[in-house]
Every structure is written in structure tokens, then in C-alpha cells.
């Protein structure tokens, strides 16, 4: 087994993979950034050869990949799990604002997440603006989670004067699954959030504390901010956007059968996670379920057996709604609700917050990264025996 990992050109040091869902709580002041990462050397299987070099191109018709150095690797089967790219540059002035304006932050990057909590603590009133970019993005709940955490902090801080929360989203709804959108809309109403649907952030003028949004009809809406959390535009990695090998679809996502994870053209290529064309929310929870299907189908492929088409689109988004409550959204293809417990997970619950804060990180590092976790589905006969959703 050969494993390559993305890195800065020429870098041969030890990478530190991060449990990125924790960054919401890092931005909310509940964890340190260092709590979210571990050296890749302590995670790498002993049977794997780790090639510390980027892939520069794919030649799937020849069963090989080319590395940055120009050398090539041949394969019998290829698994592509490359993630996606944050495109802050797709928003005019965003990178400059994140670099120079203490009021502007973003939980999506380790370069900026440490700005979030200081910005929250420095806020003394006015307008707090939060953004949601065009889909697809990873963890679609994260853009609003930080809004609810910040709101809870500000409500309890006597030094904070009057303020207005504003959530500008590319989507026509607050969340794509109606059951969970209902609970979130109750929060929008109770907290008097100014919800602007189908508003896409296109420019930040940090010198004037001004954010500009493009509406569905092309009209520009602009607003001043006293706090701004940016969720960046997101896209496939450059290597996929420029691919000419039929590895990707027209948008640059690795094209796979969304139920078997096998490539749509090359039968010995498989894809998993954020880099793929699978029509489900791009989350760590999705990957846990996908990896079980992937392992099973890799074995079937090598044994020349028919592949299973068992992936049901399962994904999960713990929608943190305060410093200690959470709506635990679990769903599959088409927004089908797929809850793991007999509780109504569309309600704010402290137990679901504890699951987000403690249980899921433990599962990620101690089970998922060791190949011992295939998602909650095997436990559902115990945790939700009547399949109450």
C-alpha cells in the first residue's frame, strides 16, 4: 500500500492531519488549535509506504500517477481521497481583510481560525455578519454554528451593547433538510436574525468595514459590519480542475458511482470524501460510512466479485446552537432523515452537544483513523431500534 499526501512544494516534513470539525469550537474559544491535529507519522499504517510528495498528474488509462519530482508510481488500484480547495481569492478583498482586519475571521482555515475568538471577545455591539458561499462546500452547517456560539457568548457578556445578527446565505433555505431547518428557523426568529437568502459574498472592503453580496437577480446588496465571519468559496483542487484524463466530471470532481464509490470510467479507481462527485454533504461523518463501502469493494475488486452498491448517502452535521446545545442532523441522499438515536434529534439538546464535543473526536482519532469505525449504522438496532426519525 502506497500513500501520498498533499504538502507545500519541496516539503518533506511530518504533516499534522487535523480533525477539522473541531475548528468550530476552536473559533468559539472552547479548544486550542493544537487539540485538532496529530503527526501523520503516528497514524500511518505500518504496512504503508508514505511517499512525501504531491501528485502532479494522473494517467488512469496507464494505471499510473506522476509525482511533482517527475517520477511515476504504478498501481493495481487507486483510491483518491484528496479533499477540496478553499478559494478565499474568489472573494475580492477577503484575504486582505483576514490578514489586516481584526474584526474579520474564518473558522475554515488554520491560518485564520485563531482570529475568531478574539474577534468575538472584542465585539461590543453593532452588526455581526456571517456568510455561506455557493455549494458545494464541506460541512454546510459550520457557517452558522459559529453564529450561534458567538450569539450565546454576547448575550451573556454585559459589556456587549445592542447588536444585530445577519446571516447571508447562497441557499434559499437556512438548511437543506426540512426537519432540521424547522428547528433552526425557530432560532432565527427567537434571536431576531436578519436572514438574507440567496445572497453571495463577492467583496470585502475592510478599510470601510463593508461587505458586498450578489443577490439572485444580480443586484448588489452591501452592509457595514462590526464583526464578519467569512466562509470561503470552495472548489476541486487544481490538479482536478486541469485534469484531462476523464478522472473528473465537468466541474472537476472525481466522478464515481455514488453507491459503490467505483470510478465511472476506470474500474480500478475509487474515490472517497470531499473530492468526489457524490451528491451528499461533504463531512467527516460521510467519509466514515464511505470508507466501509470502499474497503469492502476494494476486496471484492481484487477477488473479481461484484461490487456492493451499499452507500446510502449517510452524512451528519452536528449543528451547534449555543455553547452547550446542538441539533444533531443525520441524513442521506435526497435529505432522507437517518437518525442514530430514538431521541428527536431536531431539538436542541445538551446530550448532542456532548456527543459533538467529546464522543465524535474520540471516535475520529481512536476508531475511524484505525479503520475500526464504519459509522453509526451497525449500532442503530440498539440506539434506535424502531427507527424513529
Which candidate in 105, 139, 275, 326 is catalytic? Answer: 139
Active site residue 139: yes
Active site residue 42: no
Q: Write the CB contacts of 360 (distance below 8 Å, at least 6 apart in sequence).
A: 21, 318
Three-state SS across 302-331? HCCCCCCCCCCCCEEEEEECCCCCEEEEEE
C-alpha cell at 326: 446542538
C-alpha cell at 31: 479548544
Distance CA 231, CA 249 (A): 25
Which candidate in 105, 275, 317, 326 is catalytic? Answer: 317
* Segment 175-181 long-range contacts (CB within 8 Å, at least 24 positions apart): 175/140, 175/141, 175/144, 175/319, 175/329, 176/140, 176/281, 176/335, 177/329, 177/331, 177/335, 177/337, 178/335, 179/329, 179/337, 179/346, 179/389, 180/317, 180/319, 180/327, 180/329, 180/331, 180/346
Residues taking part in catalysis = 139, 317
Amino acid at each position: 500500500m502506497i500513500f501520498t499526501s498533499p504538502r507545500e512544494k519541496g516539503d518533506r516534513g511530518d504533516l499534522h492531519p487535523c480533525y477539522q470539525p473541531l475548528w468550530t469550537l476552536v473559533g468559539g474559544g472552547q479548544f486550542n488549535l493544537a487539540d485538532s491535529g496529530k503527526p501523520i507519522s503516528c497514524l500511518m499504517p505500518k504496512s504503508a509506504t508514505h511517499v512525501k510528495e504531491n501528485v502532479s498528474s494522473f494517467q488512469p488509462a496507464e494505471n499510473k500517477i506522476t509525482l511533482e519530482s517527475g517520477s511515476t508510481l504504478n498501481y493495481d488500484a487507486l483510491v483518491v481521497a484528496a479533499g477540496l480547495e478553499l478559494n478565499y481569492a474568489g472573494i475580492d478583498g477577503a484575504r486582505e481583510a483576514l490578514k489586516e482586519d481584526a474584526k474579520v475571521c474564518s473558522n475554515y482555515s488554520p491560518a485564520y481560525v485563531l482570529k475568531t475568538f478574539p474577534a468575538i471577545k472584542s465585539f461590543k455591539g453593532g452588526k455581526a455578519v456571517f456568510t455561506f458561499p455557493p455549494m458545494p462546500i464541506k460541512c454546510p452547517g459550520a457557517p452558522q454554528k459559529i453564529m450561534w456560539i458567538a450569539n450565546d457568548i454576547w448575550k451573556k457578556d454585559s459589556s456587549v451593547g445592542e447588536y444585530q445578527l445577519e446571516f447571508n446565505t447562497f441557499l434559499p433555505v437556512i438548511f437543506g433538510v426540512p426537519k432540521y431547518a424547522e428547528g433552526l428557523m425557530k432560532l432565527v426568529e427567537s434571536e431576531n436574525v436578519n436572514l438574507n437568502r440567496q445572497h453571495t459574498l463577492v467583496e470585502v472592503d475592510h478599510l470601510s468595514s463593508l461587505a458586498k453580496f450578489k443577490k439572485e437577480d444580480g443586484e448588489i446588496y452591501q452592509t457595514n459590519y462590526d464583526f464578519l465571519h467569512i466562509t470561503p468559496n470552495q472548489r476541486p483542487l487544481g490538479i482536478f480542475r486541469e485534469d484531462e484524463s476523464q478522472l473528473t466530471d465537468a466541474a472537476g470532481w472525481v466522478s464515481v458511482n455514488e453507491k459503490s464509490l467505483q470510478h465511472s470510467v476506470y474500474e480500478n479507481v475509487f474515490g472517497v470524501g470531499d473530492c468526489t462527485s457524490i451528491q451528499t454533504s461533504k463531512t467527516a461523518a460521510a467519509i466514515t460510512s464511505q470508507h466501509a463501502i470502499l474497503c469492502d469493494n476494494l476486496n471484492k475488486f481484487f477477488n473479481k466479485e461484484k461490487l456492493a452498491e451499499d452507500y446510502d448517502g449517510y452524512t451528519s452535521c452536528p449543528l451547534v446552537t449555543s455553547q452547550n446545545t446542538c441539533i444533531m442532523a443525520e441524513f442521506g441522499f435526497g435529505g432522507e432523515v437517518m437518525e442514530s438515536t430514538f431521541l428527536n434529534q431536531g431539538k436542541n439538546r445538551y446530550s448532542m452537544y456532548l456527543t459533538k464535543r467529546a464522543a465524535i473526536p474520540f471516535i475520529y482519532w481512536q476508531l475511524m483513523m484505525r479503520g475500526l469505525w464504519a459509522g453509526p449504522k451497525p449500532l442503530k438496532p440498539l440506539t434506535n431500534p424502531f427507527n424513529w426519525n
